[in-house]
Amino acid sequence: MKPVLVIQGAQRIDEVPRLTELSEQAELRFATSTDELHAALAGADAMLGWNFRADSLRAAWDSAGDLRWIHWAGAGVDAAMFPELVASEVQLTNARGIFDIPIAEWVLGMIICFAKQIPQTLEYQSKAEWKHRLTESVDGKRALVVGVGSIGRAIGRLLQLAGMEVNAIGRSARAGGKEFSHIHAVDELLVHLPDVDYVVLITPLTAQTRNLFGAAEFAAMATHARFINVGRGALVVEDALLAALSEGQIAGAALDVFVEEPLPPENPLWRAPNCLISPHMSGDTIGFEAAMADQFMANWGHYLAGEPLNNIVDKNLGFVPSAGV
């Protein structure tokens, strides 16, 4: 008997790249709504969460009694961290590794945008105005990366190549390895914020990290410093960030993630001074869906063979342990 695989976030197999061979290996069910997912999960062995931002899984969970494995097609699994799943014996894996380099490139790009005044240059160009001015060098600037998982480490490597001094914040203090000069403990965050030019937030969203950055953290940053968030919107108290930008407590922000997505047009962050807005696309490069599908198929092979899976999430922590805060 073939195993039953639910593909959440698609209606047909051709909507997900490179998975056509699954039709011969499993009974496939598709779901794009909570009701469809509830019906599809009954008797299912495994689920591919292709639309990783959907939160319908919890509402459909009471029909998932036979489920053994969920693969989440994203790096962050916060949408899956509801108590019933955490307490279950279902194994959860994620797409760790797919987004490391693209997000690191995005972060460096935003730093260069700030340092070289690219937004201002585009504004002057739109007015055909020749406005010479001096800009900053990235070389020698100091960055603090909050989160030392695979994405955070990729960011550290790339920023070092640009000549930056890079330290990090993790769950505990330890040597930084090749990517960071040093990793400081998260309870020392306020101590180290005043010393850096750029703060990059890429920690997983958990009960412990929700609202990690609020008024106290932004007040601790230097007034010339910029804040970059590529983790999750709920890591930040957005009203506190807006106040910090509006009052000049920090020099700018580049945001790819928000508490509410899509970001509503009326949200004042759109009009906040020196704030660059990106629609949760920092890791989405051409071909990334094919890479995620290949990653799933490799794990699917392990699953069928009864072998250990890759990228197993510690559900009590909310992330792959070696990708910790």
Structure confidence by residue, pLDDT tens digits, 117-141: 999 999 999 999 999 999 999 999 9
* Choice among 280, 289, 302, 307 that is catalytic: 280
| Same domain flag for 215 and 247 | yes
| Same domain flag for 105 and 63 | no
pLDDT at 52: 74
Alpha-helical regions (H) of the chain = 22-25, 34-41, 83-87, 100-115, 118-126, 150-161, 189-192, 215-220, 238-246, 288-305
* Distance, CA of 242 to CA of 263 (rounded, Å): 14
| Same domain flag for 135 and 40 | no
| Same domain flag for 208 and 112 | yes
| Same domain flag for 16 and 162 | no
| Same domain flag for 106 and 68 | no
Number of C-alpha atoms within 13 angstroms, CB side, residue 99?
Answer: 23
| Same domain flag for 108 and 74 | no
Give me 305's structure tokens: 């063979």
* Choice among 71, 192, 226, 232 that is catalytic: 232
147-205 residue pLDDT tens = 999 999 999 999 999 999 999 999 999 999 999 999 999 999 999 999 999 999 999 99
Q: Which of 154, 320, 152 is nearest to 235 (CA)?
A: 152
End-to-end Cα, the chain, rounded Å: 41
| Same domain flag for 128 and 256 | yes
pLDDT at 124: 99
**Annotation marks residue 232 as catalytic:** yes
pLDDT at 166: 99
Range of the domain at 254: 100-277
| Same domain flag for 149 and 234 | yes
| Same domain flag for 256 and 318 | no
Q: Say which CATH number the domain at 53 has.
A: 3.40.50.720
Total domains present in the chain: 2
On average, the pLDDT of the chain sits at 97
* Choice among 21, 247, 260, 261 that is catalytic: 261
Q: Crossing angle, helix 118-126 and helix 100-115, to 10 degrees?
A: 60
213-271 residue pLDDT tens = 999 999 999 999 999 999 999 999 999 999 999 999 999 999 999 999 999 999 999 99
**Annotation marks residue 261 as catalytic:** yes
Backbone dihedral angles phi then psi of residue 13, each to the nearest 5 degrees: -65, -30
Residue 50: C-alpha distances to residues 11, 65, 108, 238 (Å): 11, 20, 28, 28
pLDDT at 323: 44
301-323 residue pLDDT tens = 999 999 999 999 999 999 999 74
pLDDT at 59: 95
271-299 residue pLDDT tens = 999 999 999 999 999 999 999 999 999 99
pLDDT at 53: 72
| Same domain flag for 69 and 123 | no
| Same domain flag for 187 and 263 | yes
